Amino acid sequence: MTMITRRRTTRIAASLAGLAIAGLAAGTSLAAEEKSVAITQIVEHPALDATRQGVQDALKAAGWEVGKNLTWDYQNAQGNVATAAQIARKFVGEQPDAIVAIATPSAQAVAAATRDIPVVFSAVTDPVGAKLVSSMEKPGGNVTGVSDLSPMDEHLKLITRITPNVKRLGVIYNPGEANAVALVDLVEKTAGQFGMTVEKAASPKSSDVLTAARSLVGKVDAIYVPTDNTVVSAIESVVKVGQDADIPVYAGDTNSVGRGAIAAVGFNYYDVGVQTGEMVAKILAGAKPGDIPASTVSKLELYLNPGSAKEMGVTIPEAVIADAKEVVK
């Protein structure tokens, strides 16, 4: 069984400790009232699941605990945009104190369904482009949240550090997912700086991922999987193609490294969830979403999977391993 040793960062520990102190200070007032949070997620995969857990843990640290003074309603759209819209309407009808929407399609569905209930998005690549907020600094309205916009220059730099001969980069994405389209555009704008060209393969559904990956064989030197929920939910299919064809597979999210991608530099999505939960806690305490600036995650961590790399014909340099936060054993 693949095992990854997880180490919580000092920043998260301090953040949760601070929220816990605030929750204890609230003491009697929190115990005297009950709040409700509804959380909608476009699809289940480890990165988004970690985000959801981070939200819940941050709320608990702030004094809002499920089963005591917090009602928590979680719904998963199973990758279906129409289902995400149904969940959004259901939640709006129930009038919770806040709705947390994880990933762009779920966030867009909720934002379209209500102008009154506070909405906090999480793991959304381009909140302004997705028309969730008018600006990151001054969101306005009833929506704010945390963006997971990928640092694409760092992603492509990592690819060149491990496999410097990559000139043709394959990218698999769902053209129907706004965040995925934005990421592919960013890959194409950045690739030239690293002497790469980009070959795109569309995968509108998770069941299309294997076919899309196979279509890149013979055309690319490496495959990059962005933080596209459709593709990430089936990344094992991409990994299989990479192993069979000796094509290194890189990911935009660190959780995918434990599932077979050889490397990723990015956010720990639990951190993203904690940051989101901090916003929700402020709203439950009376703050207005439009007054809370939307934010991005600045801390980056390097995750590596040398075993998977070997199966794809790649040896990760020791200098890169020395920089890693986590190495899959």
User: Domain residue spans in the chain?
Assistant: 10-25+34-148+267-298, 152-266+302-327
User: What is the DSSP code string of 63-130?
Assistant: T--BTTTEEEEEEE-TT-HHHHHHHHHHHHHH--SEEEEESHHHHHHHHHH-SSS-EEEEEES-TTTT
Please name which of 278, 282, 273 lies closest in space to residue 122, comparing C-alpha atoms: 273
Express each pLDDT in 291-306 by its tens digit: 999 998 867 899 999 9
Express each pLDDT in 232-257 by its tens digit: 999 999 999 999 999 999 999 999 99
Cross-sheet strand order for the sheet of 143-147: 70-76, 35-41, 98-102, 119-124, 143-147, 295-296
Express each pLDDT in 86-102 by its tens digit: 999 999 999 999 999 99
Place of tokens 């959304």: 124
**Element holding 235 (H helix, E strand):** helix 235-245
Across residues 164-186, what is the average pLDDT? Answer: 94
pLDDT of residue 18: 53
- The rounded percent of the chain whose pLDDT value lies above 90 is 82
The encoded tokens of residue 265 equal: 């530099």
Express each pLDDT in 94-133 by its tens digit: 999 999 999 999 999 999 999 999 999 999 989 999 999 9
Comparison of pLDDT for 252 and 17, the residue scoring more: 252
* Sequence-separated (6 or more) residues with CB below 8 Å from residue 56: 66, 72, 273, 277
Measured distance CA(275)–CA(295) in Å, rounded = 9
CATH architecture of 10-25+34-148+267-298: 3-Layer(aba) Sandwich (3.40)
How many residues in the chain?
329
pLDDT of residue 217: 98
Across residues 249-268, what is the average pLDDT? Answer: 94
pLDDT of residue 32: 52
Write the single-letter amino acid at 253: D
10-25+34-148+267-298 and 152-266+302-327, same CATH topology: yes
Assigned CATH class of 152-266+302-327: alpha beta
Place of tokens 């939960």: 277
The encoded tokens of residue 207 equal: 């069941």
Please check the confidence at residue 19 and state whether its pLDDT lies above 80: no
Please check the confidence at residue 266 and state whether its pLDDT lies above 50: yes
Q: Using the 8-state DSSP alphabet, how is residue 256 labeled?
A: G
pLDDT of residue 9: 44
Measured distance CA(73)–CA(178) in Å, rounded = 26
Place of tokens 């997880």: 6
pLDDT of residue 177: 87
Express each pLDDT in 21-50 by its tens digit: 444 444 444 545 899 999 999 999 888 999
Express each pLDDT in 1-11 by its tens digit: 433 433 444 44
Phi then psi dihedrals of residue 27, to 5 deg? 35, -100
Looking at the DSSP bridge assignments, the partners of residue 101 are 40, 121
pLDDT of residue 7: 40
Across residues 168-187, what is the average pLDDT? Answer: 94
Composition of the chain by helix, strand, coil, percent to 5? 45, 20, 35
Express each pLDDT in 44-72 by its tens digit: 988 899 999 999 999 999 999 999 999 99
Rg (CA), the chain: 20
Looking at the DSSP bridge assignments, the partners of residue 147 are 124, 296
